[in-house]
Amino acid sequence: MRIGILGGTFNPIHNAHLEMARFARAAASLDRVLFMVAANPPHKRVEDDVPAEERFDLVRLAVRDEAGVEACDMELKRSGKSYTCETLRELKRTSPEAELFLIVGSDMLQDMTDWFHPAEIFGLAEVLCVRRRGLEDGDEAAAAELRRRFGARITVLNERAAPISSTEVRERLCDGLDVSGLLPESVEQACYESGVYFPEDVRRMQERCRAALNPKRYTHTAGTMRAAAMLAGAWGVDPKRARVAALLHDCAKCLDPVTQRVLSGDDEDVDAVDHAFAGAVLARMEYGVTDDGILRAIRLHTTGDEGMEPFDAAIYAADLIEPNRTFPGVEEYRKRVSLGPDEFMRYALGNVERFLERSDKALHPATRRAAAYYENKKKTEGNH
């Protein structure tokens, strides 16, 4: 049995970590790769004090569909500092015939002389160094020095993993910025659902919203927050405000229909939009939102209306294209994001009008106004 060990705080685990495991497994013909989650790392504190169990759960999600890769909680069960040397000793005791391979990145390789009992580490395991694009300067020199001082068995792999850092991911999540492509899909969704890397005020709001929604609606809400972050970057709107609007866009959805109607204050007999109008009222009354732009975006996320701004359009679109949506035609909506908010809204509103005409359902006057607004805007811009 050839076992690879990839250790770290994984705060959170990201796509470069998975690349490292895949590269090492292929290069060294490893039977298993263990993602060894550190409970209490010796050289640094866990930023944001994210509990080890929560980080471990994210790792389990990330490797769920990875062949030959698994999450390992060995260091979580052991008290004290998470020393690699002790972990290798334990693995050797439990699997004495196994060959052990320690998988490290460029940054870790160059720090290994300062690790606890480095000579014993190199005696217990061969090191596989996966280069990180843009960070590989000094890998060969560091490997040569470790071989000279400790007789280390080190292979520096040719493959290069993406230069993603957990610090970058945490900062982007905290600031409401898009993290698409940095995290496995399941991990990104879980981070949004838990709010683990969001500011405390957002997390408080999020927990209240979670309690007000059923699980399926809350999953949709987290997905809408993800889509809003992406659209904020693409369409140039404030990502932090977009996060709040996306979080609360359906906050009234699970209220009973009578309460929705009363809160909405709408005179039209269109039940499907009551939750949006009621949500804007609830966001102000129960969640303390005073930003009129956020409240307006919540109100308009189902109907639209004349005079919509890119911010309003971003929340309308995020609700439609969030990654958990599977309705026929959703991929076409996602493609049209690249055309910008005005073109997206023209396409979306046109679809709504045609759908409601075919189904004999009532079209809210605000939707008619929105469609006319975007058509007139196109004509006006064309005349200039």
Buried b (16+ CB within 10 A) or exposed e, 28-38: bebebbbbbbb
pTM, 2 dp:
0.93
β strands within the chain, DSSP E: 2-8, 32-37, 69-72, 99-105, 126-132, 154-161
Domain ranges of the chain: 2-164, 198-383
CB-facing half-sphere around the CA of 260: CA atoms within 13 A: 20
Q: Which pLDDT value is given to residue 218?
A: 98
Least confident of 3-7, 126-130, 351-355: 351-355
> What value does the mean pLDDT take over residues 208-219?
98
Mean confidence (pLDDT) of the chain: 94
Three-state secondary structure call for residue 254: coil
Q: At what angle do helices 274-285 and 239-248 cross, to 10 degrees?
A: 110
Spell out the CATH class of 2-164: alpha beta
d(CA 11, CA 94): 28
Q: Does residue 32 have a pLDDT over 70?
A: yes
Q: Which pLDDT value is given to residue 30?
A: 98
Rounded to the nearest angstrom, the gap between the alpha carbon of residue 227 and the centroid of all alpha carbons in its chain is 10
Q: Does residue 384 have a pLDDT over 70?
A: no
Q: Does residue 149 have a pLDDT over 80?
A: yes
198-383 maps to which CATH number? 1.10.3210.10
Q: What is the pLDDT of residues 296-337, one digit of tens each?
A: 999 999 999 999 999 999 999 999 999 999 999 999 999 999
Phi-psi region of 9 (alpha: psi -120 to 50; beta: other; left: phi over 0): alpha
Q: How confident is the model at residue 376 (pLDDT cuts 50, 70, 90)?
A: very high
**Two structure tokens written together for 371:** 């469609």
Q: How confident is the model at residue 87 (pLDDT cuts 50, 70, 90)?
A: very high
Q: Which pLDDT value is given to residue 326?
A: 96
Q: What is the pLDDT of residues 155-172, one digit of tens each?
A: 999 999 999 999 999 999
Is 3 within 8 Å of 34 (Cβ atoms)? yes
Q: Which residues have C-beta within 8 Å of that of residue 146, sequence separation ≥ 6?
A: 109, 112, 113, 118, 122, 127, 152, 154
Q: Which pLDDT value is given to residue 381?
A: 82
Q: Does residue 358 have a pLDDT over 90?
A: no
> What proportion of the chain, given as a percentage, has pLDDT over 70?
98
